[in-house]
Structure 1
């Protein structure tokens, strides 16, 4: 498991590639473990499709999968954003807890203290919208 890596990518699909089973091939042929974070793919429309995925796999299989994306005409770029939690700004109001789909932000009871587990965070940005104290930010 030492050569396993985790990356997050934004994939851009052109109209010609929207109908292709891209994710299927990444999973089946390249052994990618895929978590779809966001998607906007509309067949029969002029606009590009967009998919944000967190992937895990062996370094070489991730590399080979990226080469496959290039061959089929799907543009990709690493997502260069991280959620940062500023414990000094946090008042532990827990407004963010119910918005976090992965449990990256959670509360320790009975102390009612908010904690942040960066490993669980998928950078969905839902917490940013509800934090009244701006204790959660995006680092680009």
Structure 2
């Protein structure tokens, strides 16, 4: 089975539909919600990791419903030459992708857990966390 990270954009008229359930039930996809945001107007964005063999039909289903689907093309990288392991980024990281490794007390980055929220980029005083397109 392969995995793919995508960003889903929902309009208010479809947020009440069981879209994730249908992806699981009808297309046998495993959905890992990495980040979710729904505004007061009920428009939403989901960053999800899809795992399975039916990406194509599942994505086509989403597009038929009016969900905009984009691959997650940005990534965060840690510039280890700039990093001084101050830990400022670890406190702000919502997924635990950035953590302090003990006993060395070095900041480590697990890119598989990253949802590209960019909070670490803003928090890093040394500008060691960078966005790559």
Whether these two folds match at TM > 0.5 is: yes
Q: Are 2:67 and 1:69 equivalent residues in the alignment?
A: no
Q: Are 2:128 and 1:128 equivalent residues in the alignment?
A: no
Give CA deviations for 1:88-129 in whole Å, capped at 9, x if unaligned.
Answer: 010110111122233221212222111112222222222122
Q: Which of residues 86, 91, 115 is equivalent to 2:84?
A: 91
Note closer, same or farther for the CA distance 1:41–1:27 as it changes in structure 2 (3 Å cut). farther
Note closer, same or farther for the CA distance 1:122–1:132 as it changes in structure 2 (3 Å cut). same
1:28 shift after superposition: 2.2
TM score, norm. by length of structure 2: 0.85
Structure 1 regions of 5+ residues with no counterpart? none
Aligned residues: 132
Structure 2 regions of 5+ residues with no counterpart? none
- Equivalence for 2:38: 40
- Equivalence for 1:5: 2
Counterpart secondary structure, 2:131: strand
CA contact (8 A) 1:105 1:116 kept: yes
1:41 shift after superposition: 5.0
Note closer, same or farther for the CA distance 1:113–1:9 as it changes in structure 2 (3 Å cut). same
More moved, 86-95 vs 68-77:
68-77
Cα distance in 1 between the residues matched to 2:96 and 2:11:
34
CA contact (8 A) 1:8 1:52 kept: no
TM score, norm. by length of structure 1: 0.82
Q: Which of residues 43, 55, 58 is equivalent to 2:52?
A: 58
